[in-house]
Amino acid sequence: MRTLQLPLKDNPYTINIGSGLITDDALYRPHCRGDKLLIVSNDVVAPLYLEKLKTTLVEKEIHQIIIEDGEINKSKTSFFKILDYLVENQFRRNDTLIALGGGVIGDLAGFAAASYQRGMKLIQVPTSLLSQVDSSVGGKTAINHPAGKNLIGAFYQPAVVIIDTDSLDTLPQREFFSGLGEIVKYALLGESRIAQLLQSEQQKIFARDKEVLQEIIYLSCQMKADFVAQDEKEEGQRALLNLGHTFAHALETMTGYSYYLHGEAVAIGILMALDLSQKKGLINSDLVTQYQNLLTALNLPTSVVPELSADQFLSVMKKDKKNQTSAYRLVLVKGSNTDCYCILHEEDDQSLIRSVLQHFGITG
């Protein structure tokens, strides 16, 4: 097992990464101080891991809620289903909620934990690659709104993160590749070891080699933990972790949270951010081509399939929660192929963003 510390002033916690951790009771015990546990999972993950987890926590009064799989269910309906259950079963603030699943479950259950009695104990047990490298760490919790992704939520840190790499064995192929889309972000943010592994160890990655994946997960969590420790509430540099996400969130919203997986949308969003960076003269076309080829090699989409309206797309982007002024707040890439880095940028030239959308077939 490998561990990382996220040294927040008010709520430091440990990120545990390894094989067989879902059933390691020693990782849960220090954080389950109340009498009751509520495990929130979905109808894909629960049949695989719920009973194993319940057997690990036998000394507690265990409850469960199963949410239907899919981003579309990260909704106010699911949110209130969890809250109603907590109220009806008289959970207390010192009881524990365990999020067992991917990013949807982690965000949804995390927001419920943040909201119930102004905050109950939360344990994140991410089971998808995307949630293991990103959403389970850092305390972002939320639900979606028809007008935009993650518009309703809170920063709420878990007591511990337990990443069992064995859960990747049962992850559907499309979900696995979606996780790689989020990992590419860390390469562009400057994690050279991840960039090297994505280029040179693709066959081992596709074969889900435990050693290589554990290294990638560790490096991703380490980079994210560093950003979060410096800027917990995303008031500055943590926003760089949103590379490609403003475009991606609009894409997910425009397609009803049901066409693209999050990592697939992020892959397209990264290319849109690179295209805009090139149009502004911050990078050359070689870097765009390099990452387009990498994303293609990782079986991720690099173009927009549904027919979408540019006017509506821009309108959704305008509602993005990261915007601080009337301009679009974006993360762009600057530098050369061998030495690139990310910057925060306020873009007020709507016609320039429209030209990016048109390049990806989004017109009208």
Given the residues 242, 252, 264, 329, the one annotated as active site: 242
Mean pLDDT of the chain, nearest integer: 96
Alpha carbon 99 to chain centroid distance?
Answer: 14
How large a percentage of the chain has pLDDT more than 90?
Answer: 95
Catalytic residue list contains 36: no
Contact yes or no for 90/115 (Cβ under 8 A): no
> 329 with 220, same domain?
yes
Catalytic residue list contains 262: yes
At residue 238, what is the residue type? Answer: R
> 244 with 282, same domain?
yes
| Among 44, 324, 20, CA closest to 164 | 20
> 93 with 196, same domain?
no
Catalytic residue list contains 140: yes
pTM of the model: 0.96
How large a percentage of the chain has pLDDT more than 70?
Answer: 100
Q: Which of 169, 202, 232 is the last residue of a domain?
A: 169
pLDDT value of position 324: 86
> 160 with 206, same domain?
no
Q: What is the pLDDT of residues 44-99, one digit of tens each?
A: 999 999 999 999 998 899 999 999 999 999 999 999 999 999 999 999 999 999 99
Q: Which of 118, 136, 169 is the last residue of a domain?
A: 169
Question: Given pLDDT bands bounded at 50, 70 and 90, which one contains residue 245?
Answer: very high
Number of domains in the chain: 2
CATH code of 258's domain: 1.20.1090.10
Catalytic residue list contains 118: yes
Catalytic residue list contains 11: no
Given the residues 182, 191, 232, 252, the one annotated as active site: 182
Catalytic residue list contains 238: yes
Q: What is the pLDDT of residues 138-159, one digit of tens each?
A: 999 999 999 999 999 999 999 9
> 156 with 10, same domain?
yes
Catalytic residue list contains 88: no
In our burial notation (b when 16+ CB lie closer than 10 A, e otherwise), range 33-51 reads: eeebbbbbbbebbbebbbe
Residue 315, classed as helix, strand or coil, is helix
Given the residues 36, 74, 121, 224, the one annotated as active site: 224
Structural domain that includes position 246? 173-359
Given the residues 74, 140, 149, 329, the one annotated as active site: 140
Given the residues 36, 262, 264, 329, the one annotated as active site: 262
> 108 with 189, same domain?
no
